[in-house]
């Protein structure tokens, strides 16, 4: 007879040697076994789930399936950090209640607003700041950035020139050349220039 995991995945079950049968023994109800299998298979994919299970020894497959179930629920609730993020932030009970909901056949799990990664207040404030800036202020900021010779961005401690020279192609040169970097480090004797980012 087909196990509950193979039945819902519409996969041929190999009886007592079935990978899924051993993975689902910790779940009591046959319907809960089916619900857990469907949820994990939808999240990771059927082939990936079977690949994960076949890559570990038989005695560890049940623990792996349980771990995959918790991670799938954790990622559904907290897409960025998953189950570890819920544990780290002190919200492990949300992951546990999500697993219970999956086992009972509850509806789809949706990301929690506090874990969606969007801070609506700060993003609205920034957008309104940019939109509210006068054109003359924007030009002033751009002019000051250009006149200082600095470009905003990571540079590993080097000065960046605002104007870059176009790199010559081999067809333009008759002799070989190297791509030149002026190599001017911001040494201790040079004056450090800062952009007026905050007014």
pLDDT the model gives residue 167:
64
pLDDT the model gives residue 42:
93
The mean pLDDT values, 10 residues at a time, for the chain of 199 residues are 79 80 88 93 92 91 93 93 91 93 88 64 41 48 47 44 57 51 51 59
Dmax (CA) for the chain in angstroms is 81
pLDDT the model gives residue 14:
78
Q: Are 78 and 115 in contact (CB under 8 A)?
A: yes
Number of helical (H) and strand (E) elements in the chain, helices listed first: 9, 0
Query: For the stretch 135-169, what's the b/e string if a residue is b when 16 or more beta carbons lie within 10 angstroms of its beta carbon?
Result: eeeeeeeeeebeeeebeeeeeeeebeeeeeeeeee
Helix pair angle (30-44, 46-54), 10° resolution: 100
Q: Are 110 and 79 in contact (CB under 8 A)?
A: no
pLDDT the model gives residue 158:
44
Cα angle for residues 184, 189, 192 (degrees, 5° grid): 75
pLDDT the model gives residue 68:
95
Helices (H), 10-103: 19-23, 30-44, 46-54, 61-77, 82-88, 92-103
pLDDT the model gives residue 8:
85
* Rounded Cα distance, 193 and 146, in Å: 12
Place of tokens 């990771």: 44
pLDDT the model gives residue 69:
95
SS3 121: helix
pLDDT the model gives residue 166:
62
* Rounded Cα distance, 5 and 34, in Å: 5
* Rounded Cα distance, 50 and 35, in Å: 16
């Amino acid at each position: 007879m087909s196990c509950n995991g193979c039945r819902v995945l519409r996969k041929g079950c190999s009886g007592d040697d079935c990978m899924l049968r051993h993975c689902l023994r910790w779940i009591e109800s046959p319907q809960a076994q089916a619900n857990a299998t469907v949820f994990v298979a939808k999240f990771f994919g059927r082939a990936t789930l079977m690949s994960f299970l076949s890559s570990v020894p038989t005695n560890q497959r049940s623990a792996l399936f349980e771990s995959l179930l918790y991670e799938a629920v954790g990622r559904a609730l907290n897409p960025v950090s998953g189950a570890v993020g819920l544990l780290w932030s002190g919200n492990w009970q949300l992951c546990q209640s999500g697993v219970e909901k999956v086992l009972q056949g509850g509806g789809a799990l949706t990301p929690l607003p506090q874990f969606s990664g969007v801070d609506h207040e700060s993003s609205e404030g920034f957008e309104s700041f940019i939109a509210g800036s006068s054109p003359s202020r924007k030009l002033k900021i751009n002019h000051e950035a250009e006149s200082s010779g600095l470009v905003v961005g990571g540079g590993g401690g080097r000065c960046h020139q605002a104007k870059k020279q176009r790199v010559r192609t081999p067809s333009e040169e008759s002799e070989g050349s190297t791509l030149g970097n002026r190599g001017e480090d911001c040494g201790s004797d040079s004056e450090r220039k800062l952009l007026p980012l905050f007014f």
